[in-house]
Amino acid sequence: MIRHSFHRLLPAHHARRSAFTLVELLVVIAIVVVLGSLTLVGLAGILADAKAARTRSQIARIDSLLMTKWERYRSRPIPVPINIALVASSGDAATDRQNAKGLAAKAHATRLAAMRLLQRFEFPDRISDVNVSIIGAPAMLSAYQRRVNNVAIATGKTWTPQHQGAECLYMILAEMNEGGKSALEFFKETEIGDVDNDGMNEILDGWGNPIEFIRWAPGVSSQPGPDLTWGTSDDFPGSNLSDIQFGSPVDSPDGRAGAPDPFDPFLVDSNGTTGLFENFALYPFIYSAGNDKQYGIVSDYDTANNLTLSANSNAAPTARFNFGDSSVNNDPYYRVPTVQQLGGIGPEPGFEDTIHNHQLAP
């Protein structure tokens, strides 16, 4: 009799797998890599946004400090020397009235020239604004010169033009007091550095790059184009140009623009009263390169691309003003179409993500 074991009659059971196959492992790895990449991209975006927000806060802080002082120029007393001989009566009333009008115009022109020079010395944005010898120099200019000399003595280094605007901005803040303390106390130690290693410090943005500064930057202004009319095909508003400076004092797109130069209410600057290059309100320009670390701005350091660009139309004088002297305009504007204006869009990319004070919400 043949005996059959019961368990032998049952179908054989397959052994359980103890690991993933190679294909399954590759799929899992691919999924993990994709999720990790998405996470990194998201974190990078969050980090960039945080740096941009920090930079906007820095620029808003600087703008508030500078504009408080800038606005004081409107009412700041600036002595204008008067030649008594020019005031003497001619004996004819009509002639005296005409002479008085001419005298008043000369007085306003002299005050404007003196104020522009004072702005240049108290709000320098390049080495040549500080490295000047003038009789009766303003106290602030003397303070800047002492600071530069002290740095040179202490470090043995020479001030270079690479980030001169940012370094001038640092000097302005260093000599400024707000609420009984230095304006530099509003910034952390990590926000101050010397990127170009020339001994002169800069305020650093969220990406560690110098926050740059241009005192007069007509080039960043929105422009109505050659026809001087907004809403036509030749307009050049750009996507990141100034919200507070407009190149036309007449046909600006909103009520805030259309403002003439507030420092020349009597239009005594004959260079800027007609044509495409009429004078308009200018404000200090404070800007960061942004996330791409490219400024894309025409500045005094872009000599390779702006061979005809000059700092001002006239060099700084070495003596006090004479009444009615028109040789010391320190003209903030450029009226030759072939010359690029400071603050304009440069030939290099990078302007679109530039963060600046002219775009900050009021």
Tokens of 297: 């701005």
Distance of CA 23 to the CA centre of its chain: 57
Residue type present at position 139 = A
Cα torsion 75, 78, 79, 80: sign: negative
Distance (Å, whole) CA 276 – CA 223: 10
The strand pairing partners of 222, in sequence order, are 246
What's the CA dihedral at 88, 91, 94, 98 to 10 degrees?
-20
Tell me, what's the pLDDT at 362? 52
Tell me, what's the pLDDT at 334? 61
In the chain, where the domains are located: 53-77+93-359
Tell me, what's the pLDDT at 13? 53
Closest CA to 283 of 252, 255, 243: 243
Distance (Å, whole) CA 206 – CA 47: 10
Tell me, what's the pLDDT at 23? 77
48 phi, psi to nearest 5 deg: -65, -40
Neighbouring CB atoms inside 10 A of 275's CB total: 8
Task: Tell me how many degrees the CA angle 326-329-333 measures, rounded to the nearest 5.
Answer: 135
Neighbouring CB atoms inside 10 A of 166's CB total: 26
Q: Note whether 163 and 202 are within 8 A (CB).
A: yes
The tens place of each residue's pLDDT in the chain, 362 residues long, gives: 555 554 555 555 555 556 668 777 788 788 888 877 777 767 667 888 899 999 999 999 999 999 999 999 988 888 776 665 555 555 666 665 666 566 777 778 888 888 888 898 999 998 888 988 877 788 999 999 999 999 999 999 999 989 999 999 999 999 998 778 889 999 999 999 999 999 999 999 999 999 999 998 887 876 655 554 444 444 454 556 776 776 554 544 443 345 678 888 887 876 665 544 567 788 999 999 999 888 888 786 544 444 344 444 444 444 444 444 444 457 787 655 555 677 877 767 778 888 999 887 55
Tell me, what's the pLDDT at 223? 60
Using a 10 angstrom Cβ sphere, with 0-12 exposed, 13-18 middle and 19 or more buried, the burial of residue 317 is middle
